[in-house]
């Protein structure tokens, strides 16, 4: 069931925002964040009530809705008794969810965040965009420092467009687009170059070409009113932008969803998105382009 024909549809605007509701610690903050964002985006809320459906549990959820000011008259409520990735993603598809909000887990002793096994599986397989919140707040998170991955990929134009849409809706004034250039690939390509000057000139040209590529995409995203900065950096894909976002003090990192061919070998050898999922530097927005070819 796909009532709005989501496949091939633009990943934005966000018209349906899904959030999981439970009795766990932090659930109220995530619910409040979802309500805050739904109001900003003019979206409807899908309240995914976790657990076996009982009158007692529904009463407990109703109390949470009252405490967080959730407008249940305007929201859709469903039960998810089977706590699996497949069950949750099927439900999101059936209700045409554009954005699913998930909470991360804080490591003990350090201010770093990661995903539990369910959330990690959802991040790899979801067919809608995901917002991973590291520190959800009842009053709503302030997104001001936004970084977007400008990696060379067919999905990136839609990811940049979504980032511009998100920034404008939440009242941000600037976006930094950071393109990672794979250092190992560059090293192999330049192995036969004999002089430092030749290598330096090549790197400068590569950076220039990448910034021009990104600049061309950005112009098509209607960024009026936003200050856009563009930068290219060399390093390991995923790892480098994670460190950049942490050092920059970013409020949000926006990245492409993983490709459909993403498989077990990708999970064994850390790369790209896995670097980010294993140690989130800040809130992360994973944009699903809804293009079945990728």
What's the rounded Cα separation, in Å, for the pair 119 and 185? 31
- Asked if pLDDT for residue 269 goes beyond 80, the answer is no
- pLDDT at position 105: 72
Tens digits of per-residue pLDDT, 19-62? 999 998 889 999 999 999 999 999 999 999 999 999 999 999 99
pLDDT category, 145, cuts 50, 70, 90? very high
- pLDDT at position 140: 92
- Asked if pLDDT for residue 147 goes beyond 50, the answer is yes
- pLDDT at position 1: 40
How large is the average pLDDT for residues 175-195?
Answer: 73
pLDDT category, 192, cuts 50, 70, 90? low
Percent of the chain surpassing pLDDT 90: 64
pLDDT category, 120, cuts 50, 70, 90? confident
- Asked if pLDDT for residue 108 goes beyond 60, the answer is no
Tell me the whole-structure pTM to 2 decimals: 0.90
At residue 117's C-alpha, the angle toward residues 5 and 45, to 5°, is: 40
- pLDDT at position 93: 93
At residue 67's C-alpha, the angle toward residues 117 and 60, to 5°, is: 60
90 vs 268, more confident: 90
278 vs 37, more confident: 37
CATH number for the region 142-283 comes to 3.40.50.620
pLDDT category, 198, cuts 50, 70, 90? confident
Average pLDDT, the chain: 87
How large is the average pLDDT for residues 71-95?
Answer: 93
Cβ atoms 129, 285 nearer than 8 A: yes
How large is the average pLDDT for residues 110-131?
Answer: 81
**Which residues, at least 6 apart from 239, have a Cβ–Cβ distance to it below 8 Å?**
275
- Asked if pLDDT for residue 88 goes beyond 90, the answer is yes
Closest among 221, 127, 123 to 177, alpha carbons compared: 221
Domain ranges of the chain: 1-136, 142-283
Cβ atoms 130, 286 nearer than 8 A: yes
83 vs 88, more confident: 88
pLDDT category, 261, cuts 50, 70, 90? low
CA–CA distances in Å: residue 27 to residues 47, 58, 83: 12, 15, 16
How large is the average pLDDT for residues 211-237?
Answer: 92
pLDDT category, 2, cuts 50, 70, 90? very low
Q: Which CATH architecture has domain 1-136?
A: 3-Layer(aba) Sandwich (3.40)
In Å, the largest CA–CA distance within the chain is 75
61 vs 3, more confident: 61
How large is the average pLDDT for residues 136-146?
Answer: 94
CA–CA distances in Å: residue 36 to residues 17, 136, 164, 192, 256: 11, 11, 19, 55, 24
């Amino acid at each position: 069931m796909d009532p709005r024909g989501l496949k091939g549809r633009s990943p934005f605007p966000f018209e349906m925002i899904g959030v999981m509701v439970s009795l766990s610690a932090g659930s109220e903050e995530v619910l409040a964040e979802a309500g805050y964002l739904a109001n900003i985006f003019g979206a409807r809320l899908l309240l995914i009530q976790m657990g076996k459906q009982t009158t007692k549990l529904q009463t407990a959820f109703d109390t949470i809705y009252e405490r967080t000011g959730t407008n249940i008259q305007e929201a859709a409520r469903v039960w998810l008794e089977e706590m699996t990735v497949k069950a949750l993603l099927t439900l999101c598809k059936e209700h045409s969810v554009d954005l699913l909000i998930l909470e991360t887990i804080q490591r003990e002793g350090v201010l770093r965040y990661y995903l539990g096994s369910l959330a990690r599986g959802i991040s790899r397989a979801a067919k809608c965009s995901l917002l991973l919140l590291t520190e959800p707040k009842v009053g709503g998170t302030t997104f001001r420092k936004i970084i977007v991955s400008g990696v060379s990929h067919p999905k990136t134009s839609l990811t940049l467009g979504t980032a511009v849409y998100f920034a404008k809706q939440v009242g941000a004034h600037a976006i930094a687009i950071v393109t990672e250039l794979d250092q190992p690939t560059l090293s192999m390509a330049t192995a036969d170059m004999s002089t430092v000057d030749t290598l330096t000139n090549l790197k400068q040209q590569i950076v220039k070409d990448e910034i021009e590529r990104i600049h061309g995409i950005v112009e098509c995203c209607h960024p009026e009113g936003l200050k856009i900065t563009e930068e290219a950096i060399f390093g390991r894909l995923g790892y480098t932008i994670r460190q950049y976002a942490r050092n920059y003090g970013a409020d949000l990192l926006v990245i492409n969803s993983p490709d459909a061919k993403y498989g077990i070998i990708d999970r064994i050898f850390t790369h790209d998105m896995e670097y980010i999922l294993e140690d989130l530097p800040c809130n992360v927005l994973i944009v699903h382009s809804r293009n079945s070819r990728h």
